[in-house]
Amino acid sequence: MFGSLIRRKPAKGTDADGAAFESTTFSLSMAVPRPIERREEHRLLSTLRVAKLSSALGEQLIRLRNVSAGGLMAECNQAPAIGEQVEVEFSSQRIPSSVVWTREGLLGVKFDGDVDLGELLAGRKPRHGFRPRPPRLEVNCKASVKVGKAYYTVDVHDISLGGMKVEPIDEYCLGKPVLVVVESLRPVKGEVRWYSERRAGIVFDKELGFEELAEWIGKRLELASLKAAYKH
């Protein structure tokens, strides 16, 4: 059952580009994963799982390198302090945790309790033809939404790699293509997929890149941290 959770090393010469293929590794170990020194740093990151990390800094995306029954190692734009209590959300599950180490854009997180990896991975399986929804980050900012010749100035409630929730907007926008411009983020094309009481869900035509959204969130967290320090 769990044999498929352990990553096997790819055969030599299978990657035409010479880059080492890497995906998120799952382990039955109770230990928190730690970095392994490597000579080659060229990697294809498209299969690394993305999760949400909530801390005193706020919410941000992390990219999972290794996950064990006891914790995880992930790429992180703004690492919380060692010992800080955090919450990790992926596969629609929220796991209370704490930061046990940080290092050059990486962090190690220990789960407060043991995690059933089989159940965690089962939660990622597509159901009825729908793909798992990317983790959403709660944000508080403005955006401009262009629908045909009309423009809406809206509040953004949350954003993910695949879309966002905004308000206020009109019901006639439902099903229409849109162009969204968010503060400090490039214009993004999408479509209004649902509408309820002036709120709308916009799905992007093409998902944002992890680095792009993580950097944008990271800058907002850094600015919020500076403002908080200035007040004190």
**What is the domain count for the chain?**
2
CATH code: domain of residue 154: 2.40.10.220
Residue 227 three-state SS = helix
Percent above pLDDT 70 for the chain:
72
Work out the average pLDDT over 24-34: 73
Range of the domain at 157: 137-204
Report the 10 Å Cβ neighbour count for 65.
22
Residue 200 is assigned to a structural domain of this protein: yes
- 229 domain residue, yes or no: no
Structure tokens at 17: 């580009």
User: 184 and 84: one domain?
Assistant: no
Whether the per-residue pLDDT at 226 is higher than 70: the answer is: no
Instruction: Tell me: do 104 and 7 sit in the same domain.
Output: yes
Whether the pLDDT of residue 93 is over 50: the answer is yes
Same domain, 80 and 160: no
Task: Determine, yes or no, domain membership for 231.
Answer: no
Number of Cβ within 10 Å of residue 165's Cβ equals: 19
Within 8 A by CB and 6+ apart from 195, the residues are 169, 171, 173, 174, 201
Cβ contact 120:132 at 8 Å: no
Pair 112, 153 in one domain: no
pLDDT tens digits for range 157-208: 988 888 999 999 999 899 999 999 988 888 999 999 999 999 999 999 998 8
- Contacts of residue 123, defined as CB under 8 A and 6 or more positions apart, other chains included, come to 91, 92, 93, 132
Same domain, 27 and 118: yes
pTM, to two decimals: 0.64
pLDDT tens for residues 112-133? 987 777 776 665 554 544 455 6
In a domain, 227, yes or no: no
